[in-house]
Structure 1
Amino acid sequence: MNVKNYEDVDSWKTVMFLYNAALKEVGTKLEILNDEFQHVHRYNPIEHIKKRIKTPESIVKKLKRQGHESSIENMVKYINDIAGVRLICSFTSDIYRLAELIGNQSDLKVLSIKDYIRHPKESGYKSYHMLVSVPIFLTDSVVDTKVEIQIRTIAMDFWASLEHKIYYKFEGNAPEYISRELKECAKMVSELDDKMLSLNEAILRCLDEAEEESRQLELLKDQYGNLIVNE
């Protein structure tokens, strides 16, 4: 079976078919990871999975913003988020745990990572971006196809969604006070995430201590029970 690159694909319908197929592949892998985590650890790190394919209009606009002509070759070369998956988690610790699990997938290749959590954008935007490629097996060839994976907490996603809507209304030219208020909100979101993570860690410690106390009580019961039987 031949291995093809994007340069060998010149049909719009074929390219979009590949992106849709890649989206299905990655989405299934992530659902399996989440199910396995639930099975082994009795915990779901993923709250929601959102998948989308960029519209032709969005692709053309992004190419123009970047100064490129609208062509299939430029689309697949310069636009990395045509196929996108967004993972929504409860805690920031889940984000890095999931990123590690995704990176360990043998049939996914991590092309690049942008950590906007440790290094937020100027606007206050926070998210963890992974660009991966997944092999799509066709009848006569294999095509490595790019998918962008964004991993956020619920709070980060709430802020990013509102920021996108606000800037969309102003067509990217929001007044200075709007940008300033959004940055303040981003700080509040970050503080909320930190507090919720600390609270969750405290709860887990309490549960571990309670479990250990219960185990010690069971051991004492067994010991005293044996002493009574022996007497």
Structure 2
Amino acid sequence: MSVEFGSSPSKSQVERAGKQLRRIKRGEADETLLEGCLDVIERYRQTYVKPMIACNVAMRRFTDALAIEATVTQRLKRMSTIVEKLTGRESQMNLANMRDIAGVRVVVRELGDLRRLQDYIEQRRRSSGVKIIDYVEDPRSSGYRAVHLICDYGTEPSRPVEIQLRTIVMHQWAEMVEGASDMLGFNYKQDGNSSFHQWAVLLSRVFAARELDKMADVTSNELEDAWKAMLQDKGGEL
């Protein structure tokens, strides 16, 4: 599986690298092959940089056109995360079909702005195809809320870029939950039914109610009890 250094690997080479990596991690292939696999994956990962930047520029242009106040950021998925995803929680995934290697996040002030921007993106990208995952209408079991759109950007090669649309409130929830998960050693990005996820879901309902200017259906006692249960599971103290 040798590829000239610096060249973009072919789809078949990328697929083989992902499969070989899993075999190495399971002890079914020689570890001397690991460096070559990681080299192919890293060069494939780098082909997402220009499409990601193009998407970032487009999102800034779109929000300007709509006069929407927004913060636009970008990220390229870390190699360690790609490896963990391929060999752990999504071990059946074909690397060439991974859709979130490149991501652009747009944080807007309120839900109305988010929907206007979502509609605008769909209109502008309709010809090239847009996949929409609406975690506002149907939040993840972890409590995560946002709208994800996957669009192809760039030429030679074109690559899928995951666009995350969040309001400030949605972003505040995600930042708070991520901070707590780092502190306590939970993986909040994995859906589940742990005490941590139960606390995060309750907190999400509080934040969602605040965003919609409604009365939350969660009491402060429920939230406090969930926090205590989470700490007890980790052997912590209030």
* TM class, shorter-length: 0.5 to 0.7
Structural RMSD (CA) = 2.8
Are 2:44 and 1:15 equivalent residues in the alignment?
yes
AA of the residue aligned to 2:187 = G
State the alpha-carbon separation in 2 of the partners of residues 158 and 108 from structure 1: 34
Show the counterpart of 1:75: 95
Q: Taking CA–CA contacts closer than 8 Å with sequence separation of 6 or more, which of the two structures ends up with the larger relative contact order?
A: 1
1:30/1:163 CA distance change after superposition, 3 Å: same
Q: Which has the higher strand share?
A: 1
AA of the residue aligned to 2:91 = G
Are 2:56 and 1:52 equivalent residues in the alignment?
no
Q: Which of 39, 56, 63 is matched with 1:27 structurally?
A: 56
Show the counterpart of 1:163: 177
CA contact (8 A) 1:107 1:135 kept: no
Are 2:157 and 1:153 equivalent residues in the alignment?
no
Larger Rg: 1
CA contact (8 A) 1:53 1:84 kept: yes
Given the two structures, how large is their TM-score scaled by the length of structure 1? 0.67
AA of the residue aligned to 1:34 = T
CA contact (8 A) 1:88 1:157 kept: yes
1:131/1:106 CA distance change after superposition, 3 Å: closer
Deviations 1:134-167 (A, max 9, x none): 132xxxxx32211000101111111112223333
Given the two structures, how large is their TM-score scaled by the length of structure 2? 0.65
Q: Which has the higher helix share?
A: 1
Q: Where do 5+ consecutive residues of structure 2 fail to align? A: 1-7, 15-39, 215-238
Percent of residue pairs identical: 21
Q: Which of 187, 190, 198 is matched with 1:180 structurally?
A: 198
1:110/1:5 CA distance change after superposition, 3 Å: farther
